[in-house]
């Protein structure tokens, strides 16, 4: 497929214009005209770029790309090395941040719910169709320690659990993959039993204890592997691309 057609395909699928973001979504670095072999990954790290070069990829498709708001404009250091790798090897870089988080079937949040057997009931931000945080329910109440073990097993990552003050069983859950720990207060205000995110902040502990809500942090990278994997599988099965997911693992 031609690069422009591929860009249009992703635009129609992910609809980046629906949500304001902190970075440009879509084609970030232009490469070769024809795209067949695609490497997907969470972040466009140097290790991912090197893997794409080794595997003779035409394009890289990631959740975390480049050119973030408030970062330095200078193309130096690791930024220079990364961009040079793409340009010298004529590899396209496509990145989709919040549009991939919120997608109704392929998104990080929906895919995490599927992995953890959570039934999605709607957005956490009530009335917001592009909420970056969702809420849902477990099939039956679950003891918090057991739920923590289930998260750790599903994500192959030791999950941090900050218990609610009452250590209540969990029936209702809200979540936001990646660095979404700031939504815990909104979840607690709505009486939700537990909140899941990738990262944790110092104040999250106090909020969980004082607002009586379980908190689980399972890793930014680990909670955001599944949207980009689902997108790659869609491109493979529905459009015939040669797609390979490369997991440049990150403990955070």
- Judge contact between 62 and 86, C-beta under 8 A: no
- Judge contact between 128 and 181, C-beta under 8 A: no
Helices 108-116, 225-239: crossing angle, 10 deg rounding: 100
Q: Is residue 249 part of a domain?
A: no
Residues 86 and 107 grouped into a single domain: no
Using alpha carbons only, how large is the chain's radius of gyration in Å? 19
What is the Cα–Cα distance from 228 to 62, expressed in whole angstroms?
7
For tokens 């490469």, the residue is 31
Q: Is residue 199 part of a domain?
A: yes
In 3D space, the residue among 191, 185, 178, 195 whose CA is nearest the CA of residue 134 turns out to be 195
> Which of 96, 130, 153 corresponds to the end of one domain?
96
Q: Is residue 248 part of a domain?
A: no
For residue 234, the model assigns a pLDDT of 98
For residue 27, the model assigns a pLDDT of 98
Tokens of 19: 């949500």
Our CA angle for 119, 121, 123, nearest 5°, is: 125
Residues 173 and 137 grouped into a single domain: yes
Residues 127 and 75 grouped into a single domain: no
The tens place of each residue's pLDDT in the chain, 252 residues long, gives 999 999 999 999 999 999 999 999 999 999 999 999 999 999 999 999 999 999 999 999 999 999 999 999 999 999 999 999 999 999 999 999 999 999 999 999 999 999 999 999 999 999 999 999 999 999 999 999 999 999 999 999 999 999 999 999 999 999 999 999 999 999 999 999 999 999 999 999 999 999 999 999 999 999 999 999 999 999 999 999 999 999 999 999
- Domain residues for 39? 3-96
> Which of 45, 74, 96 corresponds to the end of one domain?
96
- Total domains, the chain: 2
DSSP state of 58: S
Residues 15 and 110 grouped into a single domain: no
What stretches of the chain show up as alpha helix (H) in DSSP?
Answer: 3-14, 46-54, 77-88, 98-102, 108-116, 144-155, 184-189, 202-210, 220-223, 225-239
Residues 83 and 23 grouped into a single domain: yes
For residue 88, the model assigns a pLDDT of 98
Q: Is residue 246 part of a domain?
A: no
Residues 30 and 109 grouped into a single domain: no
Question: Residue 170 sits in a domain of what CATH number?
Answer: 3.40.1390.30
Residues 139 and 195 grouped into a single domain: yes
Residues 108 and 92 grouped into a single domain: no
Own/partner long-range contacts of 2-6 (Cβ < 8 Å, ≥24 apart): 2/33, 2/34, 2/35, 3/27, 3/30, 3/31, 3/32, 3/33, 3/34, 3/35, 3/59, 3/92, 6/35, 6/59, 6/94
Q: Is residue 208 part of a domain?
A: yes
């Amino acid at each position: 497929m031609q690069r422009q057609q591929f860009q249009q395909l992703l635009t129609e699928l992910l609809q980046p214009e629906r949500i304001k973001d902190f970075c440009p979504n879509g084609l970030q670095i232009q490469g070769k005209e024809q795209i067949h072999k695609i490497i997907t990954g969470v972040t466009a790290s140097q290790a991912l770029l090197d893997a794409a070069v080794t595997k003779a990829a035409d394009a890289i498709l990631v959740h975390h790309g480049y050119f973030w708001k408030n970062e330095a404009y200078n193309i130096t250091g690791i930024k220079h090395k990364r961009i040079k790798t793409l340009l010298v090897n004529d590899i396209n870089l496509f990145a989709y941040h919040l549009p991939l988080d919120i997608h109704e079937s392929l998104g990080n949040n929906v895919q995490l719910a599927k992995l953890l057997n959570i039934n999605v009931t709607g957005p956490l931000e009530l009335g917001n169709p592009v909420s970056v945080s969702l809420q849902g329910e477990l099939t039956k109440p679950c003891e918090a320690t057991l739920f923590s073990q289930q998260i750790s097993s599903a994500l192959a990552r030791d999950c941090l659990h900050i218990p609610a003050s009452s250590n209540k069983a969990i029936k209702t859950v809200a979540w936001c993959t990646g660095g979404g720990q700031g939504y815990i207060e909104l979840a607690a205000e709505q009486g939700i039993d537990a909140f899941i995110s990738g990262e944790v902040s110092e104040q999250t502990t106090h909020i969980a204890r004082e607002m009586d809500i379980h908190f689980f942090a399972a890793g930014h990278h680990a909670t955001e592997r599944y949207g980009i994997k689902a997108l790659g599988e869609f491109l493979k099965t529905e459009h015939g691309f040669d797609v390979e997911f490369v997991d440049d693992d990150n403990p955070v």
